[in-house]
């Protein structure tokens, strides 16, 4: 499961709740899942992949989102 893939599927991005649910498949305990999600979003944002817009995490650049969908998360 890739959090960026979840964000790429919808051009408007994914909510934190959606991302947490996707991560729940791998981390069942809510507290460690919350911490891991926080960490991953922080890294993806600082690396320039994701940005929060209107409460949803989405790709900073449309070109990168389309690339991700085509080659990383087909």
Average pLDDT rounded to a whole number, residues 7-29? 94
pTM of the model: 0.87
Contact predicate 33/16, CB 8 Å: no
- CA distances, 51 to each of 29, 34, 41, 57, 61 (Å): 26, 18, 9, 6, 9
How high does pLDDT run on average in the chain? 93
CB atoms inside a 10 Å sphere around CB 59: 22
pLDDT at site 73: 77
| Paired sense of beta strands 14-15 and 56-59, if any | antiparallel
Query: Is 59's pLDDT higher than 80?
Result: yes
3-72 architecture in CATH?
Orthogonal Bundle (1.10)
Tokens of 52: 């929060």
pLDDT at site 43: 96
Tokens of 48: 């320039």
Helix 30-46 with 16-24: angle, nearest 10 deg:
120
Query: Is 1's pLDDT higher than 80?
Result: no
């Amino acid at each position: 499961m890739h959090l960026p893939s979840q964000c790429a599927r919808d051009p408007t991005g994914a909510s934190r709740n959606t991302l947490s649910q996707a991560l729940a498949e791998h981390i069942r305990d809510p507290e460690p899942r919350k911490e891991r999600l926080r960490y991953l979003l922080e890294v993806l944002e600082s690396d320039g992949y994701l940005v929060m817009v209107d409460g949803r995490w989405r790709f900073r650049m449309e070109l990168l989102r389309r690339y991700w969908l085509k080659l990383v998360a087909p």
